[in-house]
Amino acid sequence: MKFEEMGNMTGKTMMLLPGTCCDWQTNFGNVIDSLSSKYHLICVNYDGFDGSDTIFPDMITVTEKIEKYIKDKHNGRLDAAIGSSLGSSFVGQLVMRENVHIDHAIFGSPDLDQSGKLSAKLQAKLVVPILTGITKSQKKRNKTKEKLKNFFLMDDEMAEKFLNCFSKFKAESIRNEYYTDLITYLDDDIQVDNTTAHFIYAKKMGPKYLKRYKKYFHNPDIREFDMQHEQWLFGGTEYRVPVLKAIDEFMEQ
């Protein structure tokens, strides 16, 4: 795993945890300048997604490595952690396990899907070949690029970066990441003293996710935005700017 620290080194600490099949450079590329001007960022690339020959093991093993880094480098405490999609599962585990402390746990419009092992294996069997196969032919690549652009309102450059990111990683790492995320559960009604769970709720994902956020966390701070899943990270400024403003407001609480 790789941890890179940057930004305003006198500002509040904020860990950035990327989503499925992503490194932080791609996942947070559109917002890194804005965040680094204000916050002391700790950017994480997991095993298997860090440019090394390692393979992503499972969610809990990686969570333990993140906890160790926070303990060793930051005395076991962060002002904030932002999880994008699957990265929010790590934020949830860090809060729930209480081996480290996070004042502001920020969940970036996550799915927080959970399932049994058999269902998770079947889902991985269906999804992983899609994730690993979209760049194997120019026809598939072009088709996927257009879907990304239309769904997230990405520009062409961002869609190309996203596809290049997918193509870098080994199928075994993608499979392990996708599968173990589904079988790594969160408790219901998580509540930790002096920790606030903040949710960026992408309304276009549907109300079942809003119910899920309220199920897993006690009295979460939920901000609603008229966008798709993580569109603030991949779409234009009309999505990015309001969410960045909300994050600043979280940090001032």
Per-residue pLDDT reduced to its tens digit, 113-148: 999 999 999 999 988 887 777 767 788 788 888 887
pLDDT < 50 stretches in the chain: none
- pTM comes to 0.93
Structural domain spans, the chain:
2-113+187-252
19-55 pLDDT, tens digit per residue, is 998 999 999 999 999 999 999 999 999 999 999 999 9
C-alpha distances (whole Å) from 122 to each of 72, 126, 129 are 38, 6, 12
The pLDDT of residue 144 is 81
Regarding the domain delimited by 2-113+187-252, which CATH topology (the fold level of the hierarchy) does it fall under?
A: Rossmann fold (3.40.50)
The pLDDT of residue 131 is 75
Tell me the sheet residues that pair with 39.
none
The pLDDT of residue 135 is 66
Q: What angle do CA 113, 54, 174 make, to 5 degrees?
A: 30
The pLDDT of residue 218 is 97
The pLDDT of residue 89 is 97
